[in-house]
Amino acid sequence: MTIDSATMRHLSEAQVSVELETEDMTLNIGPQHPSTHGVLRLVAKIDGERAYDVQPVIGYMHRGYEKICEVRSYPQITTIVNRIDWVSGYANEIPFIVAAEKLMEVEVPPRAQYIRLVLTEMARISSHLVFMASYPLELGAATPLFFALRERERVLELLESVTGGRFHPNFNRIGGVKPAAGAGPTQKKTTQDLPSDFLSETMDAMEHMFKICDELEDLVAGNEIILARTRGVGKVPVEVAAAYGLSGPNLRASGAAFDLRKIEHYLPYDDFEFDVVTGTNGDCWDRWYCRLQEIRESAKIIQQAIDGIPSGDLQAKVPKMIKVPKGETYVRAENPKGEMGYYLVSDGNLGPYRLKIRSASFSNLSILPWALEGVLVPDIIAIMGSLDFVLGDVDR
């Protein structure tokens, strides 16, 4: 009796399908998990090492800020928006305060604008350094964490010396910035300004930051395994990125030279020279590298700003009781995580009628079901981490 090859194959396949009847496993990653940056939960269907249908479950940190803001006055809201993306709390205040100032038609003194700009860029550096710290850890390398966080500490100390807060500075006032408490050369309230050695120390810190960037690049970018783990992993084409609303370094890594600092004039970025860093492939590696380069660009901006910081008032004339006139506006800013914007609807009262908070991480994270389709389990973590989200920024 002879069996032709087709039958043979059929038989063997039949046998295999009986033997290897497998069942997909549903794996709950989070909400308590070492690499979900807080309380994100992923429900992944996995077949061996491959994941299908990964659904993020969010909302564990929803604090209802949009609702709370409706019962808060404008100066109180800056306190709340600090806590949206706590890794770069300072940067969250800017678009909100600019939106309120826009409706009030207040002109902010140049010195206050420069201080805002310097501190925003510092917040960006500290946020990116957290990414520099956490991302290699997600790939299994623990050491870069300590180098990056050590440098971040220095930036946070400078931020603290001005604002009094490391994470939640709450430093902006409508029409300017809060005079640094007791830090100026005299005790007169009108002349209280930046701490006396802040400018020179920031200059040094930024000079040092270039060295740190080189060191991080040596440590991480020179590592073959990191390259093998990130190159070509989690590629996001620019059209997909835009449709999902990816912004900031995640969008630029995909190749779009789109930086709101160059487009929106919410702070005097036009005065400075800096490059918009873009990637080419939109993979995890590009997202990492874009952020590293952005630290360098931010350090450059800070140095230029400190060189050219104008003197003058810190606060424009605003009424004691701040009422924002009727109107609607959307102000967006380039935050470390991406586009952060506030759609402010005012009815001329002490507080907004409605404040829509557009946070970067929410949109950045919404691409996960698309990006994680059919990837390996280790890549789930690699891709998720490369999006650099903060759960407070997702859930608001």
Partner 1 sequence: MSSSPSETEAAVETEPQAHPLQEYADEVAGAVGGTAEVQFDTIKVSVSNDSWVDAHLTARDRFGLVFFSWLSAIDWSNQVEVGDPLSDEVEERLELLSALGDITEGRMVTLSTDLDPETPVIPSLVEVYAGANWHEREAHEMFGIDFLGHPNLAHLYLPDGFLGHPLRKSFPLLTREVKPWPGKVDVEAMPEKPSKDEPSTENPES
Partner 2 sequence: MIELLTDLFSNFWISLAGKLALVALMIPLIGMALGFAEIKLSAKMQARVGPYFAGGRWGWAQLIADGIKFFQKEDIIPAAADRPVFKMAPMLVLVSTVALLVVIPFGPGLIFQDLSVGIFYALAISSLSTIGILMAGWSSGNKYSLIGGLRAAGQLIAYELPLVLAVVGSVIMAGTMSMSGIVEAQIEAGFPYVIFQFVGFGIFIVAALAELTRIPFDMPIAESELVMGYLTEYSGFRFLFFFLAEFANMFTLSAIAVTLFLGGYWLPGIPESALELAGPAILLGKVFLLAFVMIWFRWTFPRFREDQLQTLAWKWLIPLALVNIAVTGILKVVL
Of partner 1, partner 2, none, which one does residue 206 interact with (CB within 5 to 8 Å by kind)?
none
> Which residue number, 18 or 142, has a Cβ lying nearer to partner 2?
142
Residue 119's Cβ-side half-sphere holds a number of Cα atoms within 13 Å equal to 33
Out of 74, 90, 114, 147, the only residue in the binding site for partner 2 (CB under 8 A) is: 147
Residues that bind partner 2 (rule: CB under 8 A) add up to a total of 31
Nearest distance from residue 202's CB to partner 2, in Å? 23
Pair 101, 175: CB distance under 8 Å: yes
Question: 53 exposed, middle or buried (CB, 10 Å; 0-12, 13-18, 19+)?
Answer: middle
Closest CB to partner 1 among 171 and 244?
244
In whole angstroms, how close is the CB of 183 to partner 1 at the nearest point? 23
Closest CB to partner 2 among residues 236, 381:
381
Dist CA 132 CA 74 (whole Å):
34
The burial of 380, by beta-carbon neighbours within 10 Å (0-12 exposed, 13-18 middle, 19 or more buried), is given as: buried
List the interface residues with partner 2, window 355-384 (CB under 8 A): 376-381
The half-sphere exposure of 309 on its side-chain side, counting CA atoms within 13 A, is 26
Instruction: Give Cβ neighbours of residue 244 (< 8 Å, ≥ 6 apart).
Output: 363, 366, 367, 370
Minimum distance of partner 2 from residue 42's CB (angstroms): 11
Binding site for partner 1 (CB under 8 A): 58-59, 62, 64, 66-68, 70-71, 101-103, 105, 107-108, 110, 113-114, 238-240, 242-245, 247, 251, 256, 258, 260, 262-268, 270-271, 308, 326-330, 332, 339, 341, 343, 345, 347-351, 353-354, 356, 358, 362-363, 366-367, 370, 395
Residue 303: CB minimum distance to partner 1, A: 15
CA 192 from chain centre, in angstroms, equals 31
Interface mask (CB under 8 A) for partner 2, residues 229-258, using x and -? x-----------------------------
Edge-to-edge order in the sheet of strand 354-358: 327-335, 338-346, 354-358
Chosen from partner 2, partner 1, none, partner binding at 271 (C-beta under 5 to 8 Å by type): partner 1
**Residues 32-91 interacting with partner 2 (rule: CB under 8 A):** 33-35, 49
- CB of 158 or CB of 381, closer to partner 2: 381
Q: Which amino acid is at 130?
A: V
Shortest gap between Cβ of 117 and partner 1 (angstroms)?
9
> With contact defined as beta carbons under 8 Å apart, do 155 and 108 qualify?
no
Contact 119, 162 (CB under 8 A): yes
Minimum distance from residue 26 beta carbon to partner 2 (Å): 8
Measured from the CB atom, the residue of 145 and 240 that comes closer to partner 1 is 240
Helix (H) or strand (E) holding 155, with range, is helix 143-163
| Of the candidate residues 42, 122, 132, 139, the single one contacting partner 2 (CB under 8 A) | 139
Instruction: Please tell me the number of Cα atoms within 13 Å of 249 on its side-chain side.
Output: 28
How many angstroms separate the CA atoms of 347 and 323, rounded? 9
Q: Which does 142 bind (CB under 5 to 8 A by kind): partner 2, partner 1, none?
A: partner 2
CB 71, min distance to partner 2, A? 40
- Which partner from the list partner 2, partner 1, none does 293 bind, CB cut-off 5 to 8 Å by kind? none
Q: How far is CA 132 from CA 22, 34, 218, 232, in A?
A: 39, 17, 13, 19
Q: Binding partner 2 by CB under 8 A: which of 8, 11, 14, 25?
A: 25
Distance between first and last Cα of the chain: 72
With CB under 8 A as the contact rule, the residue among 8, 181, 225, 257 that binds partner 2 is 225
Q: Please, are residues 343 and 358 in contact by the beta-carbon 8 Å criterion?
A: yes
Query: DSSP secondary-structure letter at 376?
Result: B
Looking at the Cβ atoms of 50 and 102, the one nearer to partner 1 is: 102
Q: Between 99 and 213, whose beta carbon lies closer to partner 1?
A: 99
3-state secondary structure of 360: helix
* Nearest CA among 120, 114, 174 for reference residue 344: 174
Applying CB under 8 A, the residues found at the interface with partner 2 are: 25, 27-28, 33-35, 49, 136-143, 145-147, 150, 223, 225-226, 228-229, 376-381, 385
